[in-house]
Amino acid sequence: MADGGSSGEPVCGPGDLAVTVRWAPDGNGGLRGQVVAENVGGRACRLPGKPTVTPVGLDGTPLPVQTVVTMEWMQPGYVTLQPGQRATAPAFWLSWCGRRASDRARVSWGDHSAMADVHGPRQPDCTAGKTDNLSSSWFRLADLPGGRGRSESDGFPEQQHGATPRVRFRQLRRLRVVRPGRPALTTRNDELRHPIAI
């Protein structure tokens, strides 16, 4: 559903939230980061689904980057933000070979969207000469129990105990295959990427 299910609170609108996008290098030329949404309004509201991030070019027009949301399921499909609370959603951008990105991006959730400041690198490297998708996952509350905010010394919050681990993509360079009674085989695959929990 577009509104992420039913609850007593209204869906957060652009006037309820201050939204930012934070990127950091992933060590392989790509970017890992998060969408941060803070409730700056005077009411509780509901933030549904997985955000879509559309980087904006230096000329102010959207870049043709496709956002692919991850496939994991969460119930309910929203978080409720009280005034002053924040939610974060993991995001990844592995390669970009097009026009240069600016320090602005459009973030969409449900039927709403807002312009967001971009912190950190503006875009990933052009890896292997081809553009890759941008991906995102569910919004989750960013504050720990007891009101302690997560550390943001490196621009990313610490993982909450019991929460779903963040996911990054590691590129496999060599695979070693050993079969009983046969010589070991080594093969190379530069295109294979597997998600691993960190």
Please name the residues in contact with 75: beta carbons below 8 A apart, sequence gap of 6 or more. Answer: none
| pLDDT tens readout for residues 137-183 | 999 998 644 333 333 333 443 333 333 333 333 333 333 433 445 44
CB-count exposure of residue 137 (10 Å: 0-12, 13-18, 19+): buried
- Alpha-carbon distances of 136 from 34, 58, 69, 72, 184, rounded to whole Å: 8, 23, 5, 11, 38
With 90 as the cut, is the pLDDT of residue 69 above it? no
- Please check whether residue 57 is in contact with residue 63, taking contact to mean a CB–CB distance below 8 angstroms: yes
- Please check whether residue 122 is in contact with residue 174, taking contact to mean a CB–CB distance below 8 angstroms: no
Strand segments, DSSP code E, in 110-144 are 112-119, 134-136, 140-141
pTM: 0.69
Please name the residues in contact with 57: beta carbons below 8 A apart, sequence gap of 6 or more. Answer: 63, 99, 100, 101, 102
- Domains recognised in the chain with CATH numbers: 17-164 (2.60.40)
Backbone torsions φ then ψ of 15, nearest 5 degrees = -75, -15
pLDDT band at 49 (very low <50, low <70, confident <90, very high): confident
Strand segments, DSSP code E, in 11-111 are 17-25, 31-39, 45-48, 52-57, 67-69, 78-81, 86-93, 101-109
| pLDDT tens readout for residues 17-36 | 999 999 999 999 999 999 99
